[in-house]
Structure 1
């Protein structure tokens, strides 16, 4: 908690956008804007946010402002769903913490039907196509049950501050249709990487490949190129053997990269390929830890929660795990959970600055959990939970 403000006349200052001040590598600066190869048009078309209500709104407290997440006592002024201003005011009496809403950079929402079913199983036995436990459960699932299960998961994600996710949806066209139906009534927008035949791109937003050792995926990559749709692929999860073949496909997004080596990182930087990492899932499946600090030095890195059957899709839990297990600053971790995913998907959120969409999370800084926290960024990343969420603006 901050000490009471001194009894001086109130001053209000409008704060300009911030610039990142942590990692200074050439690669990171190059990723300050979304790479065009990601398929920005397709991502933007998929971001179907609800129509905001008209009128002016103010949120007061400690604002994690700009892409440096500078803790600023003051308020966010919102006009018709967009941030009109970030105003400094040391005399606001609210203890709320206001931060950008989360973008979950890698999910598998389909296995919401089988939570904790894979406890103790290996990667191959739990999730690998085509005969793992996950794929058997998906094949046997009733359509209505599957839609309901994914809708419950999306609702949980919204309650814990997530407004968008990048989902690998199994089961071809029916799988994509099921997720569209599940998301129809929830304020979380899934960007759907479809699977199966390339014609899934008729209804999906991109294509999500299981891994270059499973198939050559040349037809799927070519279909994405023709349609200006992004191509994403798992790589380097069980070992490094599929990383170079995955990079040969010139993907728009890599997932995992647990076993990335220097030669892979050089190619990642040269090709400007962003990466989604999933530390908790890697732990559950016992595949190792991604070299997150090295990845950050070479490209944009975003956080994902991976399979719902393995872990709840809580970005708070994912941030806390990342901050406590890796040599990465809290600011970097928060950026991985917000700005990075938004940049990869071409979304107009992830940063609190004028002109941006007001996709925000308001935490109760006076909750039993957060009261007396001396560093709001550390508190958000390492301590906060869904119980601290007061409001989610989409």
Structure 2
């Protein structure tokens, strides 16, 4: 048995435990109590033990894309993104995805729901120890997108899948996938993720086939004449197996459709803000009963896989949109970043909170030398004062997958930087 203890344990499904401890046996949590009852074991002073973050919408294969196209409108930014990633081979994408997985672990993330362009994220998560649902992306105007995208990528990374790294499928978005392809994906019987209602220009194209996206219409599927959410709902393609990323533009009727079909929504406030897409109606989604979580998206649109920054952005955005300081509390944000993500991925019985029987997916965070000590509220201190630099350890199934001051991972980092250099070199040649 392994025991970790700290000033506080924050279980999520229960009040914070002062002088708390967590006992681990065979990769699972066997007990949660005070250190007085369980013993101190490995003691972390000035620290808090949290459930590992569950990042339900990520793109590990874009870990070195930070800053690309900053300031461009969403459509041109997307086209730049597509053009650049075409320059990379599978080995380079795997190198980048390994860096992405490492950055997640460094940030206290123990589980990802990753939309994977080439399947490289599956290999990275298997090697570095992340828990994951890997949604292999597909694109196209008909059902042959499975043959072109899904089947080859699944075959190449099949050995990476396990009870810890699970397979899903991602029809990319209603503007890049036909309803026939969405239907073919649904018939696989796998978890599904897709991008929905992210930008105004996207909505205009889907409704009318007009607007700024006409400039690259040759890369898009025929518009359905309505919004993506309505089109999928009308076709019977929404359900509890679907995680919808973004939903920034969702109106009242669409929110009701998401709730009625028990669709989970991954809220990515930094990505939506930095791409100029807006602020998602988080309060309305939650009040409608939608399973909402907080997720980072990728460094292609945000600077990092930093769930602490993401929680703070979600709080600021919700309070600004609603003009109420209680629109999203720190406790709400922490739950959405942990148990909320687990619920979105259908993993709430395995991870997302600290409870006996669950996987020992844990993050140890130090608040030493911060303005939040002496302690008043460990949850507020965690959300407002936390950062990846303060993560001391990240455990998945009780195994330490990251320890501050431990392995340097220099070879892994150098390989990813080399891939970024190639992207930048190609960009310089074509500019």
TM-score (norm 2): 0.71
Matched residues in 2 for 1:179 and 1:273: separation? 24
Instruction: Say whether 1:65 aligns with 2:3.
Output: no
8 Å contact from structure 1 (residues 69, 331) kept in 2:
no
Q: Cα deviations across residues 148-169 of structure 1 (Å, max 9, x unaligned)?
A: 1221121111011011111112
Which of 63, 66, 73 aligns to 1:112? It is 63
Q: 1:122 to 1:90 in 2, by over 3 A?
A: farther
Instruction: Say whether 1:308 aligns with 2:299.
Output: yes
The Cα of 1:318 is off from its aligned counterpart by 0.3
- Mapping for residues 274-293 of structure 1, pairs under 5 Å: 274-293=264-283
Match of residue 261 from structure 2: 271
8 Å contact from structure 1 (residues 58, 76) kept in 2:
yes
The Cα of 1:69 is off from its aligned counterpart by 5.0
Match of residue 7 from structure 1: none
Match of residue 336 from structure 2: 336
Which of 224, 228, 231 aligns to 1:242? It is 228
Match of residue 48 from structure 2: 97
Match of residue 99 from structure 2: 152
Q: 1:217 to 1:232 in 2, by over 3 A?
A: farther
Match of residue 79 from structure 1: 25
Matched residues in 1 for 2:77 and 2:5: separation? 44
8 Å contact from structure 1 (residues 110, 146) kept in 2:
yes
Match of residue 210 from structure 1: 172
Q: Cα deviations across residues 186-231 of structure 1 (Å, max 9, x unaligned)?
A: 1223322112322455528222123223332323433433x32022
Aligned-partner SS, 1:141: coil
Which of 181, 184, 200 aligns to 2:123? It is 181
Q: Which runs of 5+ in 1 are unaligned?
A: 1-54
Instruction: Say whether 1:256 aligns with 2:246.
Output: yes
8 Å contact from structure 2 (residues 294, 337) kept in 1:
yes
Match of residue 218 from structure 2: none
Aligned-partner SS, 1:119: coil
Count of equivalent residues: 330
- Name the Cα RMSD after superposition: 2.2
Matched residues in 2 for 1:361 and 1:369: separation? 21
Matched residues in 2 for 1:67 and 1:363: separation? 19
Q: 1:124 to 1:71 in 2, by over 3 A?
A: farther
Instruction: Say whether 1:198 aligns with 2:198.
Output: no
Matched residues in 1 for 2:366 and 2:353: separation? 20
Instruction: Say whether 1:230 aligns with 2:220.
Output: no
Match of residue 76 from structure 2: 125
8 Å contact from structure 1 (residues 71, 377) kept in 2:
no
The Cα of 1:378 is off from its aligned counterpart by 0.9
8 Å contact from structure 1 (residues 330, 381) kept in 2:
yes
Match of residue 219 from structure 2: none
TM-score (norm 1): 0.78
The Cα of 1:383 is off from its aligned counterpart by 1.7
Matched residues in 1 for 2:61 and 2:297: separation? 11
Match of residue 311 from structure 2: 319
Which of 350, 355, 358 aligns to 1:356? It is 358
The Cα of 1:142 is off from its aligned counterpart by 3.6
8 Å contact from structure 2 (residues 3, 21) kept in 1:
no
